[in-house]
């Protein structure tokens, strides 16, 4: 079936400008020796394919925009008494360069009607030069004609076209990927709507204005026209329903056309509108970018206005009625439990944990929106708070070792709280906060379930060792035998709560000897051992000194 070609400009507009191989680009890439016999001025027309054919009428097998190759077999005259308009006197032998002008004109007319972009004529074995009748027909009909020497096979032209097509497609994919990355960075920025419009006008020659459901401008980018001129179009967008595109000519000369896209909810409520203005129609590739931006803007407004309602309801209930967590009725408490479960993708009866993320030195610096979305994804919860130390989250996950290792690779340490019920969440947060120094000391994940809730346990090895070195430094600097005896004396006396007789009995010393040595230790350590706080600190410090030292 023949596919009639649209006009050159229409054909150009039906194809993406990215990756298209135009006739001019193809001719420029061909090997030396190929000559342009007639230029029809259509170098910007995209080529669809390169097709060799020796049929008298190849058009039923062609698509629009092809480059047809022939060695001239359709122009060889039949023998005497047969065929198209030929007689014995007019018959041509192989090697003759003249052809029947009417035959050539009919052939070229068929190619032009079929939308062929150019004709390549190969020399030998039938013709030694491009027939003048064929060249005349191409000039009359406006078909680009190219002469191909015998040294260059037709296959070389097809191979060159394939290379250009592959290179163009790769470039188009790279440009598309870069555009998508640009748009996603805009979505994850602190001001996603403004950044999306800025990214759009960088990729598309247009201005853009975003309107809310009240008809007021929320964001704009580029040389936006007077907003009052857009109100009729915005009114139509906000009043209508269903997927659609509204257009309206701008009032001032040279301002072109305004194109409006409604931003719709999943239930077809209009949540806003995006209006673009351009002084010329956009290409398919540019319209594809616009469609992507419209989709992302719809996601943003849906998330803000009609996404999961549980987190906002939960926050409102707790902010306005904090007493309901401790003293609310069973019905009130169950309602809040339901909202909490929806916010963490869990169940009402499931326990939750408080997780605090502590930024370590190796942690990268991301924007707040990107970080918030990252923690929501990792911990499968919408309840995440960004803090000065990092973040706090309420999650139903147990936080296994694999997740802890992933967080460590990102440069983050964690406190993982015990399972807790809804009323105990404030207490769980305070307990997790008490363990943050352990995370900084160890540079990893600290689990509340693994901790002994003692002062020494909470202090941790690193801080405890520093405390021992500060308080007991003069004793630790003694000779080993002397050091060990003084440490045993101090442990025994503190363990006996300062009782001289009990310490003397424990160490096998005289009561006065114990008193004298303890007083000497007090002077050496520069501490008043009569104060309970000093004795408590010494006792904690001793927990971090080995028993054998």
CB 48 within 8 A of CB 62: no
Burial of 375 from C-beta contacts in 10 A (0-12 / 13-18 / 19+): buried
Q: Which residue has the higher pLDDT, 6 or 66?
A: 66
**3-state class (DSSP) for residue 62:** coil
pLDDT in tens, 90-124: 334 444 457 888 999 999 999 999 999 999 999 98
What's the fold here for domain 8-165? 3.40.1390
pLDDT in tens, 30-76: 888 899 999 999 988 988 889 999 999 999 988 888 999 999 999 88
Give the mean pLDDT of 430-458.
79
**3-state class (DSSP) for residue 134:** helix
pLDDT of residue 413: 92
Residue 397: left if φ>0, alpha if ψ -120 to 50, beta else—which one?
A: beta
Residue of 342, 323, 314, 351 lying closest to 425 (CA atoms): 351
75/298 Cα distance (integer angstroms): 61
Asked if the domains 8-165 and 456-542 are classified in one and the same CATH topology, the answer is no
- Please state which CATH class domain 350-451 belongs to: alpha beta
pLDDT in tens, 474-486: 888 888 888 888 8
Confidence check: pLDDT of 81 > 70? no
The DSSP bridge partners found for residue 67 are: 50, 118
CATH superfamily of 456-542: PucR C-terminal helix-turn-helix domain (1.10.10.2840)
pLDDT in tens, 510-533: 889 888 988 988 888 888 888 888
pLDDT of residue 14: 36
Q: Decide the pairing of beta strands 144-148 and 118-122.
A: parallel
Lowest mean pLDDT among 156-160, 208-212, 279-283: 279-283
Does the reported pTM lie above 0.75? no
pLDDT of residue 78: 53
Six-digit token pair at 280? Answer: 């010329």
CB 96 within 8 A of CB 130: no
Residue-range domain boundaries for the chain:
8-165, 189-305, 350-451, 456-542
Q: What value does the CA radius of gyration of the chain take, rounded to a whole number of Å?
A: 42
Six-digit token pair at 414? Answer: 């964690």
pLDDT in tens, 7-34: 333 333 333 444 578 898 899 888 888 9
The DSSP bridge partners found for residue 537 are: none
Angle between helices 511-525 and 455-476 (to 10 degrees): 90
pLDDT of residue 70: 94
Q: Outline where 68-153 has alpha helix (H).
A: 101-113, 132-141
Q: What is the 3-state secondary structure (H, E, C) of 465-523?
A: HHHHHHHHHHHHCCCHHHHHHHHHHHHHHHHCCCCHHHHHHHHCCCHHHHHHHHHHHHH
CATH superfamily of 189-305: GAF domain (3.30.450.40)
DSSP state of 206: S
Give the mean pLDDT of 293-311.
78
pLDDT of residue 109: 95
DSSP state of 33: T
Peptide bond preceding 17: is omega within 30 degrees of 0, i.e. cis? no
Q: What are the strands, taking DSSP E only, across 291-352?
A: none
258/227 Cα distance (integer angstroms): 12
pLDDT band at 267 (very low <50, low <70, confident <90, very high): confident
330/327 Cα distance (integer angstroms): 9
**3-state class (DSSP) for residue 84:** coil
pLDDT of residue 108: 95
Lowest mean pLDDT among 49-58, 219-228, 390-399, 536-545: 536-545
pLDDT band at 370 (very low <50, low <70, confident <90, very high): confident
pLDDT band at 421 (very low <50, low <70, confident <90, very high): confident
pLDDT of residue 462: 61
Residue of 283, 227, 237, 292 lying closest to 259 (CA atoms): 237
Q: φ, ψ for residue 526 (rounded to 5)?
A: 60, 45
Q: Which residues contact 191 (CB under 8 A, 6 or more apart)?
A: 219
**Residue 467 vs residues 324, 460, 472: alpha-carbon distances, Å:** 43, 11, 8
Which run of H or E residues covers position 464? helix 455-476
């Amino acid at each position: 079936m023949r596919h009639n070609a649209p006009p050159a400009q229409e054909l150009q507009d039906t194809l993406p400008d990215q990756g298209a191989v135009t006739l001019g680009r193809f001719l420029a890439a061909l090997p030396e020796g190929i000559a342009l016999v007639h230029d029809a001025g259509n170098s910007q027309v995209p080529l669809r394919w390169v097709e060799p054919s020796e049929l008298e009428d190849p058009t039923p097998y062609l698509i629009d925009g092809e480059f047809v190759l022939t060695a001239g077999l359709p122009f060889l005259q039949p023998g005497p008494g047969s065929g198209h308009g030929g007689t014995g006197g007019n018959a041509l032998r192989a090697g003759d360069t003249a052809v029947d002008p009417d035959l050539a004109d009919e052939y070229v007319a068929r190619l032009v009607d079929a939308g062929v972009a150019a004709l390549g004529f190969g020399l030998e074995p039938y013709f030694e030069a491009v027939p003048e009748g064929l060249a005349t027909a191409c000039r009359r009909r406006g078909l680009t004609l190219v002469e191909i020497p015998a040294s260059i096979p037709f296959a070389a032209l097809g191979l060159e076209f394939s290379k250009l097509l592959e290179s163009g497609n790769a470039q188009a994919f790279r440009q598309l990927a870069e555009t998508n990355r640009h748009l996603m960075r805009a979505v994850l920025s602190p001001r996603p709507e403004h950044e999306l419009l800025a990214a759009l006008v960088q990729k598309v020659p247009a201005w853009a204005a975003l309107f809310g459901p009240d008809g007021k401008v929320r964001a704009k980018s580029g040389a936006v026209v007077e907003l009052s001129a857009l109100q009729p179009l915005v009114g139509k967008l906000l009043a209508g329903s269903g997927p659609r595109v509204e257009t309206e000519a701008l009032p001032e000369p040279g301002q072109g056309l305004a194109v409006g896209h409604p931003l719709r909810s999943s239930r077809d409520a209009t949540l806003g509108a995006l209006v673009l203005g351009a002084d010329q129609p956009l290409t398919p590739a540019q319209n594809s970018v616009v469609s992507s931006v419209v989709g992302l803007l719809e996601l943003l407004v849906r998330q803000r206005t009609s996404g999961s309602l549980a987190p906002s309801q939960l926050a409102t209930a707790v902010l306005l009625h904090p007493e309901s967590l401790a003293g609310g009725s069973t019905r009130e408490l169950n309602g809040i439990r339901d909202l909490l479960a929806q916010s963490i993708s869990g169940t009402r009866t499931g326990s939750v944990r408080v997780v605090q993320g502590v930024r370590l030195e190796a942690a990268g610096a991301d924007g707040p929106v990107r970080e918030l979305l990252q923690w929501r994804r990792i911990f499968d919860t919408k309840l995440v708070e960004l803090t000065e130390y990092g973040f706090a989250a309420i999650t139903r996950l147990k936080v296994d070792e694999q997740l802890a290792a992933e967080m460590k690779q990102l440069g983050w340490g964690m406190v993982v709280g015990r399972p807790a019920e809804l009323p105990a969440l404030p207490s769980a947060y305070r307990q997790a906060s008490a363990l943050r120094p352990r995370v900084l000391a160890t540079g990893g994940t600290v689990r509340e379930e693994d901790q002994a809730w003692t002062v020494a346990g909470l202090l941790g090895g690193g801080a405890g060792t520093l405390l021992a070195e500060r308080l007991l430094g003069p004793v630790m600097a003694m000779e080993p035998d002397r050091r060990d005896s003084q440490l045993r004396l101090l442990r025994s006396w503190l363990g006996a709560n300062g009782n001289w007789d009990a310490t003397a009995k424990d160490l096998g010393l005289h009561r006065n000897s114990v008193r004298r040595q303890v007083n000497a230790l007090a002077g050496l350590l520069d501490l008043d051992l009569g104060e309970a706080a000093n004795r408590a600190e010494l006792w904690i410090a001793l927990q971090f000194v080995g028993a054998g030292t």
